[in-house]
Amino acid sequence: MDNPFEPDIKVKNILTELKKYFKLAQWLLLLGLLSFFRAEATSPEFDAEHAFQYLVRQCEFGPRNPGSNGHENARKYLISELKQYSKEVVAQEFEYSDKQKSVKLTNIIARFGKKGGEKILLSAHWDTRPFAEHDANPEKRNTPILGANDGASGVAVLLEIAKILKSNSPENEVFIVLFDGEDYGKNTDEMFLGSRYFAKNMAQWKPDYGILLDMIGDKELDLPIEQLSFRAAPDLTRKVWQTANDLGLRAFHPQLGPAVMDDHVSLIEAGVPCIDIIDFDYPYWHTTEDTPDKCSAESLATVGKLILALIY
């Protein structure tokens, strides 16, 4: 017979969640109290303007949706660029088929640093949306997007970091992974294709933890804590937002934002603690107006400085 005084499973789950958010509230209070005691930056300098050039260069290829000329040209460019900075660059090729067609996809992986140390994965998606379903003009809703913020921004930061990693070899092992097929389909079953494939085929690249960068170029950058990240990797989340606070990076807000389905979920489901740094409050998301003029070098630098501080 069940113990009438024992809380049922639903109540237990609620209590567990409340404990998590109580701990978060305590941490947020402490973070506010510590805001006057910021650490001096000792990591290499992040070149914001050069990173922004990477963003613009990707957009010059046009939309980079799988199967397009822009996608193929961008693939060649990204592999070539990373090979300038890393001696170990792998094109992880695979194919995805749906009821309409098959497309060739490529995850691009570059390794830096010393083997044997902590393994850190830094990732972003390099493909762009094949259709602009949120465009204000109904006639444009089947048009592929340029993806300056949703696609090029995270990659731009990681390319600049790759350049720095070559000149300043880190003590830990760092993998930069550019995922393909994140924005491919019309529903989540047809999206996050590259991260799902990578998660099933990580082998020697399996990290101790991962950080995903997505939509981080917005001129009005606002980076709250993504909920799925906090649930899956609370310690890593605290570390990242605490570091941002120490550096005085005001775009990182220590408050819970929305839960976002993104590439980090594939890694979480494979047992890798992973968080998503994302500004999901972007009015040009999945529209033809997601162009470089909506982004800024300063926003790229905000995230780039944070990542460098975590590495060094």
pLDDT digits (tens, 9 = 90+) for 84-121: 999 999 999 999 998 788 999 999 999 999 998 899 99
Q: What is the largest CA-CA distance in the chain?
A: 69
Q: Does domain 38-311 have CATH number 3.40.630.10?
A: yes
Alpha-carbon dihedral angle through residues 24, 25, 27, 28, given to the nearest 10 degrees: 110
pLDDT average, residue stretch 196-208? 97
pLDDT at 99: 79
Residue 2 has pLDDT above 90, yes or no: no
Phi/psi for 15 (5° steps) reads: -65, -40
Q: pLDDT per residue over 244-272, tens digit each?
A: 999 999 999 999 999 999 999 999 999 99
How far apart CA 207 and CA 211 sit, in angstroms, is 10
Contacts of 91 (CB under 8 A, 6+ apart): 75, 79, 106, 107, 108, 109
pLDDT at 191: 98
Q: pLDDT per residue over 18-69, tens digit each?
A: 455 556 655 555 555 444 444 444 889 999 999 999 999 999 999 999 999 9
The full set of domain ranges for the chain reads 38-311
